[in-house]
Amino acid sequence: MKDKTLFVSGGTRGIGKAIVYAFAKEGCNVAFTYASSVDTANEIIADIEANYGVKCRAYKLDILEPNTYKDVYKEFDEDFDRLDYFISNAIISGRAVVGGFGPFMRLKPRGLNNIYTATVDAFVVGAQEAAKRMEKVGGGSIISMSSTGNLVYTPNYAGHGTNKAAVEAMVRYAAAELGEKGIRVNAVSGGPIDTDALKAFPNYEEVKAEVVRRSPLSRMGVPEDLTGACKFLCSHEASWLTGQTIVIDGGTTFQ
CA–CA separation, 121 and 16 (whole Å):
18
Catalytic residue among 136, 164, 181, 208: 164
Catalytic residue among 34, 157, 204, 231: 157
23 CB neighbour count, 10 Å cutoff? 26
**SS3 for 83?**
coil
CB 129 within 8 A of CB 144: no
CA–CA separation, 206 and 56 (whole Å):
38
Using the 8-state DSSP alphabet, how is residue 193 labeled?
B
Query: Is 2 a residue of the active site?
Result: no
Query: Is 208 a residue of the active site?
Result: no
Q: Where are the beta strands (DSSP E) in the chain?
A: 5-8, 29-34, 56-60, 85-88, 140-147, 183-190, 245-248
* Residues tagged active-site: 157, 164
